[in-house]
Amino acid sequence: MTPHAPVFCSIVPPHLLERLAQSDNPAFAAAARRTLAVDAAQRAARAQAAPAAPEAPAGEAADGPRRTVYDARNGTELPGVKVRGEGEPAGRDATVNRAYAGLGATFELFLKVYGRRSIDGAGMPLLATVHYDRKYDNAFWNGEQMVFGDGDGELFLDFTIPVDVIGHELAHGFTQHTANLAYYGQSGALNESVSDVFGVLVKQYALGQTADQADWLIGAGLLGPAVDKGTALRSMKAPGTAYDDDVLGKDPQPATMEDYVRTGSDNGGVHINSGIPNHAFYLLATELGGAAWERAGRIWYDVMTGGTLSEDTRFSEFARATVASARRLFGDGGDEVEAVLKAWSVVGVPAS
């Protein structure tokens, strides 16, 4: 499948930054407005970029990542100054070390669990830039690399802290090189959800957690001391409950189609309505039990790499594809097909 021009995909959604830009606190508003402006510039640059599908040079080893971490030194030139390459020892900068480790954790999940060489399946180098801009409240995938802000220190902390944020953004590259889901409406919400799914799987795999042991939060540890009532950016276990704060507002994610949000902002609510397929995956993984990457994750991976999805896939089409995948992988006699059907039924998406 031919990739689109690379899409700018960020972890903090525009609706949250737009609320913060209206804050009565001048420092919070300034950081949010600066972040929105930088994001808009990056989004415009991505829209003009040519499609790209990088492949590994011949002769590269298949069993290890090729990581490079750069330092933007609080500027916006990408990629910045190289500060750590593959196999080089950890340095004194914890942000660099976390980025390097997170790239490796994501590579390890895809290779060891799914037999995939990097996010493109062909050994794609994993690149990251840290210390991007000043008080930049976001992290993003630009079609070629990861970029991390340091946060403003009050609302958001360093964006390399949660490994699931790293996994989430790299998973946008995985989607770019597989199903290539268009970044608007329901296909865009699926694009965001797939990144949340593989982001939490990276975290759970790295921690050795079962589905029952995991917190199912996206961005836990990211919110700063100025946020009184918030645990993360999103919750797959209970969409709509990640935060309810005077500064951030109320988490708007729905858990079921009954509360599906129709909006023209954020490419049709891609960061909001992703709560619905997110919750379906959580329900499936916990119903099956054990490690979520083994059966639930394998079904999602098979769907994304199977070549049956269109770029404009809707929730119901994706749901039916997961049922077909469960049958193909595990047969009709096991628990998997019934669990998939049940999960989609609970969130109100027809899967048969």
Q: Which residues are catalytic, by number?
A: 169, 271
Exposed, middle or buried, 64 (CB in 10 Å: 0-12/13-18/19+)? middle
Exposed, middle or buried, 153 (CB in 10 Å: 0-12/13-18/19+)? middle
Which alpha helices (DSSP H) does 244-335 contain, by range?
A: 266-269, 275-288, 296-305, 315-330
Task: Look up residue 193 and give its amino acid.
Answer: S
- Residue 243 β-bridge partners: 230
Reported residue count of the chain is 352
Measured between alpha carbons, how far is 188 from 299 in angstroms, rounded to an integer?
19
Exposed, middle or buried, 155 (CB in 10 Å: 0-12/13-18/19+)? buried
Measured between alpha carbons, how far is 54 from 122 in angstroms, rounded to an integer?
8
Q: Mutual orientation of helices 315-330 and 336-346 as an angle, nearest 10°?
A: 170
215 CB contacts (<8 Å, ≥6 apart)? Answer: 237
Residue 160: DSSP 8-state: T
